[in-house]
A and B are shown apart, each in its own frame.
Chain A
Amino acid sequence: MTEENVLTAPRGKDAGADGEPLLRVSGLTKHFPVKGGFPIRRTVGAVQAVDGIDLTVHAGESFGLVGESGCGKSTTGRLITRLLEPTSGSIAYRGRDIGHATRKQLAPIRSEIQMIFQDPYSSLNPRQTVGKIISGPMEINDINPEGGREKRVRELLEIVGLNPEHFNRFPHEFSGGQRQRIGVARALALEPKLIVADEPVSALDVSIQAQVVNLLQKVQRELGIAFVFIAHDLAVVRHFSQRVAVMYLGKIIEVGDRDSIYTRPRHPYTHALLSAVPEVNLADDDSGGRERIRLAGDVPSPISPPSGCRFRTRCWKAQDRCGTEEPPLVRIPGNREGHLTACHFPEEPTIEARDEDIVLDPALAALEEGQAE
């Protein structure tokens, strides 16, 4: 699996002209109806999976989307690729709103926005050969590359580090990491400008994850493809993305460049999330301690999210104002350019250990109190 292949797709052609972002999402909302009642099932509520988010992705940039399960990050990915239709809001791809475009209107754009899925086992058709899987998008879009589709498939296999001779094999003959490479090759087949990668490495073993992350990074840099990288692993997102957005219960609560989010976070939830990541401390002494924040309970249901700020039910800084007034996503004093936070009472921009740990979990607090005595 050589990593030194020369990639052949056109680079930077008509991408990112005059600063217009490749993708501009505004007020994006997706509510899934909840049916109930008998004998006639009526809509009794809605899962507010994504609730009015704004984001921009520039050409050639890698944009990370992190959050815990149920925060709406995957739904956002599916909306951007238009596998789902938004309830409201707009998705402007190169200045054109594709939020409610019909199949026909979407057809020319589909080839430019591709997706890489989480599960390399269920996202490849077991009855098709690798060659068929990768050339499928070309067939559908009636694209006949120079030298034929088979030649292109071989090229793609080589780019993703698989043996080009294996194009006649079936998915079951490959390991998990190799399958994910096939998924990457399929996404690259149409020379896309934007790839939405939904947890592309979380199903893989640790030693294999790094191989696929490196491959995606190589593809992103050398082909200049913009990525929306969705993952729950904060370290992987940090490694891959230049800008990062943190989601909680269908909202973006903080967005900014990588450095701002990981070293100068302002939103209490971002603090809690970063402090919860289990880390190997490789320093020879125990210096450089991080803050310790232990939240109570789980994420509330997106069917009836809390009023005002959605994080307030688990936040140690919540006050009356948080319940009545939803904090806007703005650049608060002390933030760098482009670093937006949605919080009324932001935290200090540091992740150093605090004088006192924040332990909100009642069982933990009780046990630790007992042991301290």
Chain B
Amino acid sequence: MTTLTKEAGAPHPAGAGPLLAVRDLYVSFRTEDGVVRAVDGLSFDLERGRTLGIVGESGSGKSVTNLTILGLHNPVFTTVDGEILLDGRELTTARESELERLRGNKVAMIFQDPLTALSPYYTVGRQIAEPYMKHTGAAKKEAWQRAVDMLGKVGIPNPRERAKDYPHQFSGGMRQRAMIAMALVCDPDLLIADEPTTALDVTVQAQILDLLKDLQQEFGSGIIFITHDLGVIADMADDIMVMYAGGAVERGTTDEVLRAPRHPYTWGLLNSMPRLDSDLGAPLSPIPGTPPSLLNPPSGCRFHPRCTFQDRVEGAGRCVRERPLLAPDRSSACHLTEDQKRTIFLEEIKPGLG
């Protein structure tokens, strides 16, 4: 249905179709206050060896989407609707035992906070060796050697000794490296990185991002990279999907989305973010208002209460009544015409970006 890449559909060894295909995904949680509709009709594809960057603010549904792919949501309170196809295999209806075989093996995840994601009770080496033993049936000694090799690969100095250390003996940057080693130990097809560098300092972040890029070339995994930082996404991703209030509002290749964005929310994000070379005289232009509550999302276009361009849409009140759809390929979910989007960006938004 929708593809993110231009060379979509190219044949590859492990079967036809994209590595990951998400179709009309709806995820909602029952809470005391009502039903939270965290993901609301989301579709996207990820090709092998590519990196898809998902940008959005807190509450945009970007993390929930990826927890759902891994089946890490609590099934008691969660309703999932739609399809998640990994290599053609349906995951939303898969049994727990089947998901267990996939997790850490075909699909791995790197979490934001490595201190809480690693167990304090086991040595780093053992935590890396364990999924390898479980999924490949390797012997203990062999798995340990693999763990030491992986630690060396991600740049832990003296890996043979450091594998015997506990997570608290590692610094923040080293813990994140250990997490990456753990995620890659089984050579996964899909790697989900959920804000992997948000907790790190900028010089360490730069090291980790470059390391991930270099390792991807070697391992050839597809990466879903979740972040709120447009600078990080510009650095990492081949394709970008911008999410707002549970749905995708814009997608395209990194160049397209960042250099010729077509959705008012993307314009707002670019505008509100100071850069190292931006104009200093003018104040920043923030997006007015606050992100909506997902308990009671706005009607029509989710962004309309904060959008300053809705009066230019043909047909009064259309943004309030009708939810714009995200068409396949390069597009944005907005009622403005393509011409309007192009001229507004070139004439009104781009000059302000300095």
Instruction: Please determine whether chains A and B interact with each other in the same assembly.
Output: yes
Q: In the bound complex, what is the Cα–Cα distance between A276 and B235 (angstroms)?
A: 11
Q: Does A304 contact B (CB under 8 A)?
A: no
Instruction: For residue B335, give the distance in angstroms from its CB to the closest CB of chain A.
Output: 21
Contacts of B232 in A (CB 8 A): 278
* Whole-angstrom CA separation of A361 from B155 in the bound complex: 7
Given A278-B229, A362-B157; A68-B287 close (CB under 8 Å): no
| B218 (CB) vs chain A CBs: closest residue | A367
- B286 touching A364 by the CB < 8 A rule? no
Kindly identify which residue among A1, A210, A278 contacts B272, using a CB–CB cutoff of 8 Å. A210
B97 within 8 A of A: no
Judging by beta carbons under 8 Å apart, are B234 and A278 in contact? yes
Docked-complex contact B214 and A364, CB < 8 angstroms: yes
**Do B259 and A371 have beta carbons less than 8 Å apart?**
no
Chain A: interface residue count, which band? 35 or more
The segment from A117-125, A147-155, A200-208 found at the interface with B is A200-208
Give complex CA distance A276, B205 in Å. Answer: 8
Nearest chain A residue, comparing its CB with the CB of B227: A278
CB–CB A239/B230 < 8 A? no
Q: List A186-225 residues whose CB lies under 8 Å from chain B.
A: 205-211, 213-214, 217-218
Check if B298 is an interface residue, CB within 8 A of chain A.
Answer: no
Give chain B residues whose Cβ lies under 8 Å from the Cβ of A214.
Answer: 283-284, 286
Contact A280 B234 (CB under 8 A): yes
Residues of A with C-beta under 8 A to B155: 361-364
Are B231 and A280 in touch, CB under 8 angstroms?
A: yes
B171 near A: Cβ within 8 Å?
yes
Q: Which residue of A is nearest B197, CB measured?
A: A278
- The distance from the CB of A304 to the nearest CB of chain B, in whole angstroms, is 14
A234 at the interface (CB under 8 A from B): yes
B274 touches A295 (CB 8 A): no
A140 located at the interface, meaning its Cβ lies under 8 Å from any Cβ of chain B in the complex: no
Residues from chain B with a CB closer than 8 A to the CB of A297 are: 157, 171, 173
Whether A206 and B207, one on each chain, are in contact in the complex, defined by CB atoms closer than 8 angstroms, is no
* B1 within 8 Å of A (CB atoms): no
Judging by beta carbons under 8 Å apart, are B290 and A367 in contact? no
Q: Which of A206, A232, A272, A282 is within 8 Å of B353, CB to CB?
A: A282
Tell me, rounded to whole Å, the shortest Cβ–Cβ distance linking B115 to chain A: 13
Q: How distant is the Cα of A282 from the Cα of B174 in the complex, in angstroms?
A: 32
Question: Are B284 and A239 in contact (CB-based, < 8 A)?
Answer: yes
- Residues of chain B from 237 to 287 with CB closer than 8 A to chain A in the complex: 258-259, 268-278, 280, 283-287
The interface bits of chain A over 127-141 (1 if a CB of B lies within 8 angstroms of the residue's CB, else 0) are: 000000000000000
Asked if A275 is at the interface of the complex by the 8 Å CB criterion, the answer is yes
Given contacts A177-B290, A361-B155, A367-B215, contact A276 B171 (CB under 8 A): no
- For the complex formed, measure the closest distance between the CB of B197 and the CB atoms of chain A, giving whole angstroms: 9
Considering the chains assembled together, what is the distance between the CA atoms of A59 and B259 in angstroms?
41
Chain A residues whose C-beta falls within 8 Å of the C-beta of B205 in the assembled complex: 276, 278
B207 touches A294 (CB 8 A): yes
A298 interface residue per 8 A CB criterion? yes
Asked if residues B273 and A235 are in contact (CB atoms below 8 Å), the reply is yes
Please, what's the 1-or-0 string for A221-240, where 1 marks a CB less than 8 Å from any CB in chain B?
A: 00000000000101110110
Whole-angstrom distance from the CB of A359 to the nearest CB of chain B? 8
Q: Are B258 and A282 in contact (CB under 8 A)?
A: yes
Question: Of A1, A175, A239, A295, which contacts B203 at CB under 8 A?
Answer: A295
Inter-chain CA distance A370–B273, complex, in Å, is 36
A234 to B276, CA, bound (A): 7
Is A352 an interface residue when CB atoms closer than 8 A count as contact?
Answer: no
Contact of B286 among A207, A282, A284, A298 (CB under 8 A): A207
Q: Which residues of B contact A144 (CB under 8 A)?
A: none
Contact assessment for B276 and A205 in the assembled complex, using a CB-CB cutoff below 8 Å: no
Q: Which of A207, A214, A217, A284 has the most CB of B within 10 A?
A: A207
Tell me the bound Cα distance from A370 to B219 in angstroms: 13
- B204 interface residue (CB < 8 Å to A): yes
Would you give 14 A-B contacts (Cβ < 8 Å), ordered by A?
A205-B228, A207-B286, A213-B274, A239-B274, A239-B278, A258-B280, A272-B203, A277-B231, A278-B206, A278-B231, A279-B231, A299-B201, A361-B207, A367-B215
Known contacts A262-B276, A362-B155, then 8 further A-B pairs from the complex at CB < 8 Å, ordered by chain A residue: A205-B57, A207-B269, A209-B286, A213-B284, A238-B274, A277-B231, A280-B234, A298-B172
Seen from chain B, the residues whose Cβ lies within 8 Å of a Cβ on chain A are: 57-58, 152-155, 157, 171-174, 177, 201-207, 209-211, 214-215, 217-218, 228-232, 234-235, 258-259, 268-278, 280, 283-288, 290-291, 350, 353
The 3 closest A-B pairs by CB, nearest first: A363-B155, A278-B231, A210-B286
